[in-house]
A and B are shown apart, each in its own frame.
Chain A
């Protein structure tokens, strides 16, 4: 890891409260361009909360967030998208009622002016959508004008990744992208994640499948009860160790004995 490089995203002493629940505790972490980071931890550990800050869905209660060394002061999904942050979650990201072409460009619809009136450029949306379908290995029979509700889980993820690539995102956040996917589709999504990293994107990958992430990630960040408990490169920790730490915890080692 070349630590001299300036981080792409940097969180400093970030705390996040949802009412009386503290989802993040004093988290400081750096992410670099061109790396695939596995973000792991138990249910409710704060993984989604952490990436929600990066993708502008929530603002931290306290602490600082830097992107390219610039302090981020206002948090909104639109701003994050404009800054090149894309998020793919299993359940979020596609509107079932809209066509594939429309989903592809949702929020960033291309516009064609006819007599000065801005119409969305459906032709372009269709064309690019169709390109994505072939380039990212969706079924040939998938219709760009069909509702996305017709896509399989893996196709949905692939499609969202295609979209991130198309819009030249610099950061791709994948929050449990392989839930409910077949082995084969999971493979394809993981391959895509690695490909994007190779194209020097920052990929933040959240999953509960430790062995799977251990194969592809460069580095792991482990969260526990909202706090960062480990930040290790892959070569310094085996998948088994990683799993053990998540299962048994770090902070609880001495105090409360947890017998599994």
Chain B
């Protein structure tokens, strides 16, 4: 047993502590990306519209990424979020003429919760792996969208757009999108819940070592169920926010958002093996992806390259995160 080097430890501690964080790489990566883009392309980078554009899309993707992070932390995955995002938003539009804005909002969110519950049932009671169960859900709900809408989405009525509740999600406050404020608020709440509530501690334990969690008296099934429901609810909320902001939509609403949400979480340091990751990381992962795409288009790279870029960033991010985790001695 080595003699403890107390003095030295105090000096190195903040840095070591930071390096041990699962989101260390993305914190640096995002700062770097923002600095580099600012230096390379200051003229368009520092424009108000660029920032609005990035924060707007980041809010939508970020809400999905936070939900995805919660599920991944519990050692599951939710591939259905893109379709849930679409179907919940469309349910909101479709029920509004009969129910009015407040009730249709409630109904849409209940639909989201029900879908999350069903996902959880399939995985936890049905014993289907979450990869398969939610892949099925991805196709199923997209199919339901096509069948129920007949291929085109009805309009969100003028009156409904002006409703205060719609404005609360879609309007602006001090030139900032309310959607973005919701995103920030939920990110803070999710962080608090994950790291400062009993549920959060249980979720991390379940994702890290399910047997131990069970043996310590954690109700694993309930914890994972809440994770799935929360993820679906956030996906639904993201869809509602999108519609409230820009009511022009289509049946394609939310296509491939599931992949982007997973990418944001993983690049943000969330480990697919469960139990390790932060909301901050996923939020920054979202900003990172959104900023890079925006800048790639600005610099003239064809947007189809972005898909390849996401793949590279994902591999790179996962590798860097793994290496850093190993270096820091885990």
Contacts and interface: CB of A to CB of B under 8 A. Distances in A.
Direct contact of A and B (CB under 8 A): yes
Interface of A: 55, 57, 76-78, 80-82, 87, 89, 91-98, 102, 105-109, 111, 118-120, 122, 139-141, 145, 147, 149-150
B214 interface: yes
Contacts of B198: 109, 111, 118, 120
B196 interface: yes
B212 A93 contact: yes
Contact of A57 (B200, B213, B214, B218): B214
B147 interface: no
Contact of A106 (B9, B192, B213): B213
B317 interface: no
A140 B4 contact: yes
A89 B216 CA distance: 12
Contact of B211 (A81, A92, A147): A92
A160 to B, nearest CB: 10
Report the 10 A-B pairs with minimum CB-CB distance, sorted nearest first. Answer: A97-B208, A78-B217, A107-B216, A97-B275, A141-B4, A107-B217, A95-B208, A140-B4, A95-B209, A81-B217
A82 B217 CA distance: 9
Interface secondary structure of A, over-half rule: loop
B4 A93 contact: no
A93 B216 contact: yes
B217 A92 contact: no
Contact of A98 (B9, B204, B214): B204
A98 B206 CA distance: 11
A106 B218 contact: yes
B156 to A, nearest CB: 35
Q: Kindly name the residue among B198, B204, B219 whose own CB sees the greatest number of chain A CB atoms within 10 A.
A: B198
A147 B196 contact: no
Contacts of B308: none
B325 to A, nearest CB: 10
Contacts of A77: 214-217
Interface of B: 1-2, 4-6, 9, 17, 192, 196-198, 200-202, 204-205, 207-209, 211-219, 274-276, 329-330
Contacts of B213: 95, 106-107
30 contacts: A77-B215, A77-B216, A78-B219, A82-B217, A87-B215, A92-B211, A94-B209, A95-B204, A95-B208, A95-B209, A96-B208, A96-B275, A97-B209, A97-B275, A98-B201, A98-B204, A102-B201, A107-B202, A107-B205, A111-B198, A118-B197, A118-B198, A119-B192, A119-B196, A120-B196, A120-B200, A120-B201, A122-B196, A139-B4, A141-B5
A108 B208 contact: no
Given A97-B208, A139-B4, A149-B330, A108 B217 contact: yes
Nearest to A81: B217
A162 to B, nearest CB: 15
Contacts of B4: 139-141
A6 to B, nearest CB: 26
A173 to B, nearest CB: 11
Contacts of A107: 202, 205, 213, 216-218
A98 B211 CA distance: 14
A94 B212 CA distance: 6
B39 to A, nearest CB: 36
B200 to A, nearest CB: 8
A89 B214 CA distance: 13
A95 B217 contact: no
Given A102-B201, A107-B218, 4 more contacts: A77-B217, A92-B209, A107-B213, A139-B2
Q: Kindly name the residue among A77, A81, A139 whose own CB sees the greatest number of chain B CB atoms within 10 A.
A: A77
Given A96-B209, A122-B196, A141 B2 contact: yes
